């Protein structure tokens, strides 16, 4: 297989969501597995809707997921290349001007449907003489430009779907340039893929119908057999089955980050949902790469449930070792000799990482203890062991209290947890007690 060069090509017209992230991650993991390159290309030819703040946000979102592009490029800076490609297609007789209005085309389509014919463009513009074209231009009409397809069956071996084909005779010649001279998606995308040396185009299955057209464009501009390989993965939907949209902002990567979801949980669920691999927590993108195989992606749409993400995020935190969490802990002034045992004690009780701040306050700061049974807690204070303390201290303390008071189970343990942590539940007290220390424990007992 060729060393892969792939691209993720969002339009900076909104925030990317987890469905977009699925495509970005598929490309990134595929490239890294093959020791290749990942290109971030902003498809920003739509000047009215493209925004710089969206482009910046997309780069931030990808970085949060762990995706570092090898190159960032923008279509808005490459218009001369597209104009040169259009000139080449004109010279080849593959790009021709059309003067029909949208209303005329709509009426024509309706007539074709009424006659039981496929509603494809009939290439009437190819029959215009130069005088007729001049007359239309004199009326103030400006042409749009269509790519003349060769009527044939285009074959490709899809990385996900296997042997695939489309008969281009069943398609309308696609419009590449609008009446106002602006570019549609198709030509800039192909020109960029050629110039950047893209070897594999990995994208959602909603682009399957574009593939035959693009292969013909690749062959016209670059030569036979030089089109990249294509892979069309299934799409993520919301739990309700509805499609995801950048415009709605639902499940945007930014909103998930702000909600405190772990990026590795987002990556694992985005990549593994709807594949042969089971969804599971991972400790790195390298580990996720070892579980990922694009060929084992289902053909069925993959439903994404936010509740699954919450649970997976917690499981991801549980699997993080101290070294992986160290920098994030230090960012919250959680450091020193207590930091590692603290992390190992609390990581299984975190819904999101920021929960560590509250638990660090339990072991190092001031809390409001809850005294459920003052008399019992006074007995506990009297029985409190001397330091040094370790993981066995809590067990020895409660064993003595059980013998002296006859208490057991919740009646024994619950008042101690409330007094020492101020909380109904949490990490094992055997792990927390040495971190809290004897002085703070005495201060929290009546």
List the CATH code of the domain at 5-73+184-237: 3.40.50.620
Residues in the chain: 446
Cα–Cα separations (whole angstroms), residue 124 to 40, 146, 202, 230, 341: 39, 12, 35, 32, 77
Give the whole-angstrom CA distance, residue 438 versus residue 387.
7
| pLDDT for 245 | 65
| pLDDT for 247 | 58
Give the whole-angstrom CA distance, residue 245 versus residue 378.
59
Return the axis-axis angle of helices 186-195 and 79-91, rounded to nearest 10°: 100
50, 18 Cβ separation under 8 angstroms: no
Give the whole-angstrom CA distance, residue 132 versus residue 97.
12
Within 10 A of 163 (CB to CB), how many other CB atoms are there?
8
Q: Give the global pTM.
A: 0.91
Give the whole-angstrom CA distance, residue 16 versus residue 10.
8
Those residues whose C-beta lies under 8 Å from the C-beta of residue 240, and which sit 6 or more positions away, are none
**Which CATH architecture describes the domain 374-444?**
Orthogonal Bundle (1.10)
List the CATH code of the domain at 80-152+159-177: 3.90.800.10
| pLDDT for 248 | 53
Cα–Cα separations (whole angstroms), residue 341 to 330, 335, 357, 384, 433: 14, 11, 15, 22, 11
List the CATH code of the domain at 238-318: 1.10.1160.10
Q: Name the token pair of 63.
A: 């970085």
Give the whole-angstrom CA distance, residue 86 versus residue 231.
26
Segment (H or E) for 271? helix 263-272
Those residues whose C-beta lies under 8 Å from the C-beta of residue 234, and which sit 6 or more positions away, are 160, 204, 205, 274, 297, 298, 299, 300, 301, 302
Phi-psi label, residue 237: left if phi above 0, alpha if psi -120 to 50, beta otherwise: beta
Tens digit of each residue's pLDDT, the chain (446 residues): 689 999 999 999 999 999 999 999 999 999 999 999 999 999 999 888 999 999 999 999 999 999 999 999 999 999 999 999 999 999 999 999 999 999 999 999 999 988 888 899 999 999 999 999 999 999 999 999 999 999 999 999 999 999 999 999 999 999 999 999 999 999 999 999 999 999 999 999 999 999 999 999 999 999 999 999 999 999 988 777 777 766 555 689 999 999 999 999 999 999 999 888 899 999 999 999 999 999 999 888 788 788 889 999 999 999 999 999 999 999 999 999 999 999 999 999 999 999 999 999 999 999 999 999 999 999 999 999 999 999 999 999 999 999 999 999 999 999 999 999 999 999 999 999 999 999 999 999 99
């Amino acid at each position: 297989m060729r060393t892969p060069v792939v691209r993720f090509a969002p339009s900076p017209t909104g925030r990317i969501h987890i469905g977009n992230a699925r495509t970005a991650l598929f490309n990134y993991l595929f490239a890294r597995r093959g020791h290749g390159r990942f290109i971030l290309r902003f498809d920003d030819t739509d000047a009215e809707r493209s925004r710089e703040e969206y482009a910046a946000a997309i780069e931030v979102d990808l970085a949060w997921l762990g995706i570092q592009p090898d190159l960032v490029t923008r279509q808005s800076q490459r218009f001369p290349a597209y104009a040169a490609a259009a000139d080449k297609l004109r010279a080849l007789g593959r790009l021709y001007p059309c003067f029909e209005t949208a209303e005329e085309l709509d009426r024509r389509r309706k007539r074709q449907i009424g006659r039981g014919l496929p509603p494809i463009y009939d290439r009437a513009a190819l029959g215009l003489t130069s005088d007729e074209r001049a007359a239309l231009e004199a009326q103030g009409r400006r042409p749009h430009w269509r790519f003349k397809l060769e009527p044939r069956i285009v074959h490709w071996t899809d990385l996900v779907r296997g042997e695939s084909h489309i008969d281009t005779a069943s398609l309308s010649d696609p419009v590449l340039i609008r009446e106002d001279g602006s570019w549609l998606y198709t030509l800039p995308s192909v020109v960029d893929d050629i110039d950047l040396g893209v070897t594999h185009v990995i994208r959602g299955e909603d682009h399957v119908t574009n593939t035959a057209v693009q292969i013909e464009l690749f062959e016209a501009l670059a030569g036979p057999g030089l089109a990249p390989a294509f892979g069309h993965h299934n799409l993520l939907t919301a739990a309700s089955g509805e499609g995801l949209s950048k415009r709605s902002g639902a499940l945007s990567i930014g909103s998930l980050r702000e909600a405190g979801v772990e990026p590795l949980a987002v990556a694992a669920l985005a990549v593994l949902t709807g594949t042969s691999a089971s969804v599971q927590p991972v400790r790195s993108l390298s580990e996720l790469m070892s579980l990922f195989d694009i060929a084992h992606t289902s053909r069925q749409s993959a439903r994404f449930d936010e509740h699954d993400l919450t649970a997976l995020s917690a499981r991801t935190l549980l699997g993080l070792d101290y070294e992986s969490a160290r920098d994030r802990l230090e960012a919250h002034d959680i450091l020193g000799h207590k930091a590692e045992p603290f992390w190992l004690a609390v990581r299984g009780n975190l819904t999101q990482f920021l929960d560590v701040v509250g638990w660090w306050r339990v072991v190092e700061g001031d809390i409001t203890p809850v005294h459920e049974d003052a008399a019992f807690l006074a007995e506990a204070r009297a029985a409190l062991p001397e330091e040094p303390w370790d993981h066995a201290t809590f067990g020895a303390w409660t064993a003595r209290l059980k013998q002296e008071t006859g208490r057991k189970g919740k009646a024994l343990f619950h008042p101690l947890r409330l007094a020492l942590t101020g909380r109904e539940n949490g990490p094992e007290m055997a792990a927390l007690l040495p971190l809290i220390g004897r002085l703070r424990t005495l201060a929290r007992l009546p």
